[in-house]
């Protein structure tokens, strides 16, 4: 590891190489994510549930826990700043974390065959897989807090939107390549026997995905450590540092906005997965992957433009416009049936515009955080917003199981909805009105401020 440099000491050429290294990290991590991701784990567990009589009663909450547990335990990342301070180097902390996380997730494909043949308890199998998935994400979360604090100091404010968009583009490109490998190359190189359990087809992609995520940490070695002074605080001061961002009105407003849209997303996660599995079951898993690929391809092509638009017009306007567009995805799910199941492709197209929301909110989170306390701000931002997603997902899973056979009468429209349809409409409504949280960012600038100052305030 090289000795720390101040932001002003970094030569232009070294900064350029560091940006490229961050993009390479995103690409390799994306390839690993394309091979091993949450959708694969959900289908894996649904296929396992189908093998047991009790599986039907566990599907809803099982999927909810797969989605929610990592985010729920991710609240522990508020302690990431303390951990980084104790460790003494954001660079080493980040790289070591990104090396450990893939090793943890590789336990899933290694243990599944043994668990399925060595125990008759479906609940035990599900609990072990969810626990490993949760621990993997927790380590990754801690590493990424250090990453964004470290790289956030490296990238100048004037180009941060473009940097984040280009890195997101490389990550998406890697994900697409990983999906291609998973769907086209691996089935030919490692064919699964016809009489083998359905879940076996996920094991090789999962192992290779973990390997690629392990490799993704290596380019970060070329990024210089930025001079940074950790804080030696007592526990009382440490807790005040952790929750200090809540006293920042604009940062608190940003957190509230992201929590709101995560709540809208979380409520439908179980219903959405159930729809995917019902309309494209088992062997048709690849079609759902293709829909995800459609979204990611659109985001890949849109990401450079998104970065330039954010740098030019500010985060808030782009986020608001994109939220209106992505909300229509829920209505596509509402209209999807066996006969019209390819409405899910339209949802995939609508979700292309999540790129504007994701890049814009992350840019605001990094930009609004003061340089001297960036780690605490970023840690609390991710902890609270992902915990909101987790709690909403668990609530959605519980309601999906509870209202599985319930029909909701809608007198105004004279129609009857099942619970998933009702949840999709509610999610659409919550996403549409989320833009209300952004209004203070529009009006906080006074008429006497210069145009440049207005843009800075909005950002």
Q: Provide DSSP, 179-191.
A: HHIIIIIHHHHSP
Among the ranges given (53-62, 132-141, 178-187), the one the predictor scored with the smallest mean pLDDT: 53-62
Instruction: Let me know if residue 422 belongs to a domain.
Output: yes
Instruction: Let me know if residue 240 belongs to a domain.
Output: no
Instruction: Let me know if residue 190 belongs to a domain.
Output: yes
Instruction: Let me know if residue 227 belongs to a domain.
Output: no
pLDDT at 2: 52
Long-range contact pairs involving 109-115 (C-beta distance under 8 Å, separation at least 24): 109/202, 109/203, 109/204, 109/206, 109/207, 109/210, 110/207, 112/44, 112/199, 112/203, 113/200, 113/203
Instruction: Let me know if residue 292 belongs to a domain.
Output: yes
Section 214-237 average pLDDT: 73
Distances (CA, A) of 259 to 110, 328, 420, 436: 35, 19, 22, 13
CATH of the domain at 452: 1.20.1250.20
Would you tell me the crossing angle of helices 59-73 and 122-154 to the nearest 10 degrees? 30
Q: Given the structure tokens 């994701």, which residue do they identify?
A: 358
Number of domains in the chain: 1
**Residue 5 forms beta bridges with which residues?**
226
446 pLDDT band, cuts 50/70/90, is: very low
The per-residue pLDDT of the chain, averaged, comes to 81
Tens of pLDDT, residue by residue over 116-139, are: 887 777 788 888 988 999 899 889
Asked if the model's pLDDT at residue 96 lies above 50, the reply is yes
Tens of pLDDT, residue by residue over 362-378, are: 888 888 888 767 777 88
Asked if the model's pLDDT at residue 453 lies above 50, the reply is no
What is the domain extent for residue 182? 10-221+246-458
Tens of pLDDT, residue by residue over 29-48, are: 999 988 888 878 888 887 88
- Helix residue spans in 106-192 (DSSP H): 107-118, 122-154, 160-180, 186-189
pLDDT at 194: 75
Query: Are the beta carbons of 41 and 184 closer than 8 angstroms?
Result: no
Query: Are the beta carbons of 428 and 268 closer than 8 angstroms?
Result: no
Torsion sign, CA atoms 27, 210, 148, 259: positive
Give the integer Cα–Cα distance in Å for 343 and 336: 5
Tens of pLDDT, residue by residue over 299-336, are: 878 888 888 888 888 888 999 999 999 999 999 999 98
3-state secondary structure of 52: coil
Torsion sign, CA atoms 254, 94, 91, 26: negative
Distance of CA 351 to the CA centre of its chain: 14
Asked if the model's pLDDT at residue 103 lies above 70, the reply is yes
Instruction: Let me know if residue 69 belongs to a domain.
Output: yes
182 pLDDT band, cuts 50/70/90, is: confident
Instruction: Let me know if residue 228 belongs to a domain.
Output: no
Give the integer Cα–Cα distance in Å for 61 and 274: 11
Instruction: Let me know if residue 337 belongs to a domain.
Output: yes
């Amino acid at each position: 590891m090289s000795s720390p440099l101040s932001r002003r000491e970094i030569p232009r050429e070294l900064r350029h190489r560091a940006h490229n290294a961050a993009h390479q990290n995103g690409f390799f991590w994306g390839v690993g994510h394309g091979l091993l991701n949450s959708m694969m784990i959900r289908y894996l567990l649904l296929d396992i549930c189908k093998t047991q009589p009790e599986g039907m009663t566990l599907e809803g909450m099982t999927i909810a826990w797969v989605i929610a547990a990592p985010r729920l335990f991710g609240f522990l990342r508020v302690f990431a700043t303390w951990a980084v301070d104790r460790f003494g180097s954001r660079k080493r902390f980040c790289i070591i974390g990104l090396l450990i996380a893939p090793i943890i997730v590789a336990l899933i494909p290694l243990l599944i065959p043994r668990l399925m043949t060595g125990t008759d308890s479906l609940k035990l199998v599900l609990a072990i897989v969810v626990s490993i998935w949760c621990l993997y994400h927790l380590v990754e979360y801690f590493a990424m807090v250090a990453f964004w604090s470290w790289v956030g100091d490296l990238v100048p404010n004037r180009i941060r939107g473009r940097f984040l968009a280009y890195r997101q583009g490389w990550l998406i490109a890697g994900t697409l390549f990983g999906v291609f490998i998973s769907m086209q190359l691996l089935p030919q190189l490692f064919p699964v026997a016809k009489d083998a359990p359905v879940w076996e087809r996920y094991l090789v992609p999962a192992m290779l995905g973990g390997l690629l995520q392990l490799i993704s940490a290596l380019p970060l070695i070329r990024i210089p450590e930025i001079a940074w002074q950790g804080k030696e605080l007592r526990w009382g001061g440490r807790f005040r540092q952790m929750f200090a961002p809540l006293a920042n009105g604009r940062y608190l407003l940003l957190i509230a906005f992201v929590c709101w849209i995560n709540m809208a997303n979380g409520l439908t996660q179980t219903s959405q997965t159930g729809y995917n599995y019902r309309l494209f079951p088992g062997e048709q898993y690849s079609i759902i992957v293709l829909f995800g690929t459609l979204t990611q391809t659109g985001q890949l092509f849109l990401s450079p433009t998104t970065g330039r638009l954010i740098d030019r017009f500010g985060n808030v306007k782009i986020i608001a416009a994109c939220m209106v567009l992505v909300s229509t995805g829920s209505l596509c799910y509402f209209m999807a049936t066996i006969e019209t199941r390819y409405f899910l492709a339209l949802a995939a197209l609508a979700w292309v515009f999540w790129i504007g929301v994701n890049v814009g909110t992350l840019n605001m989170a990094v930009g609004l955080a003061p340089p001297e306390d960036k780690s605490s701000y970023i840690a609390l931002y991710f902890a609270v917003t992902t915990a909101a997603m987790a709690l909403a997902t668990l609530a959605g899973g519980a309601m999906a199981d509870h209202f599985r056979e319930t029909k909701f009468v809608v007198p105004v429209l004279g129609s009857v909805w099942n619970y998933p349809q009702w949840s999709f409409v509610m999610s659409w409504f919550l996403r549409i009105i989320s833009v209300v949280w952004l209004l203070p960012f529009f009006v906080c600038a006074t008429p006497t401020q210069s145009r440049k100052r207005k843009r800075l305030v909005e950002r």
